[in-house]
Amino acid sequence: MNIDLSGRRALVSGSSQGIGLAIATELARAGAAGIVNGRGKERTEQAAATISDRLPGADVTAVAADLATAEGAAQLRDRVPDLDILVNNLGIFGARPVLEIDDDEWRRYFEVNVLSAVRLTRTYLPGMMDRGWGRVLNIASDSAVAIPVEMVHYGMTKTALLAVTRGFAKAAAGSGVTVNSVIVGPTHTPGVEMFVEELVGDDLSWEEAQRRFMREHRPNSLIQRLIEPAEIGNMVVYLSSDQASVTTGGALRADGGYVDSILP
């Protein structure tokens, strides 16, 4: 399948590292003009430079803004008034016993992981509908379906994203715009490496720590390894393409078979 996103403008929120950077890289590889986002100017510009180094000639712009705030979303809108592809990737996670999560932390997780996506979708979806083409993608998680006991607050936000996705897809019905979520499984990122060390200790080699983590904390995985970020990027590129024109309102799994269900 030859996917060509030339002429499309794509934003990936929270793309200065990890999965977001990989998604932005793969969209650029497919020809999209990419907008990389992070809170800090230096890291965001470095991420854009990384993509340019990997893909000489790629059209990549860095826009630093804290999209977990209304002010940050407004700053982005001023810099980038229109988009063809919006990937809501921004998110935070961490382990905490559910009885120890206070109100402020519940609110923070919702603000960053859910409301940031709602704000950006509300900003850019109307323009996409007016033009008759657009793609909105929310990066969810297996934790939306299989709530992990060590981070219920994170799982809650990803479950909410599935509902938000379906709702906005209904709002865009018949417009030529699709809205989907991607259920991401356990993925190899620097943040996950630290998370693995928190759970299994830091006295093991990375290979041993990863095997123990998958065996003890993610035993449902059918691939028995962490997913590489570029593999998530491949799914996003497909869903951003013309070839995915009839896929909307869905929760597409790129989870290594982790979710033990025929449907999400």
Active site residues: 154
SS3 category, 15: coil
Structure tokens at 62: 């860095």
For the stretch 94-101, contacts whose Cβ atoms lie closer than 8 Å and that sit 24 or more positions apart, written own/partner, are 94/151, 94/154, 94/195, 95/150, 95/151, 95/195, 95/198, 95/199, 96/150, 96/151, 96/153, 97/150, 98/149, 98/152, 98/153, 101/152, 101/153
Cα–Cα distance, 12 to 146 (Å, whole number):
25
Q: Give how far Cα 168 sits from Cα of 28, 91, 191, 234, Å.
A: 26, 19, 30, 23
Cα–Cα distance, 160 to 162 (Å, whole number):
5
Cα–Cα distance, 37 to 44 (Å, whole number):
6
Return the biggest CA–CA distance within the chain.
Answer: 55
H or E element at residue 133: none
Do the strands 251-254 and 85-88 form a parallel or antiparallel pair, or are they unpaired?
Answer: unpaired
Strands of the sheet with 60-64, listed across from one edge: 60-64, 33-38, 9-12, 85-88, 134-141, 177-184, 251-254
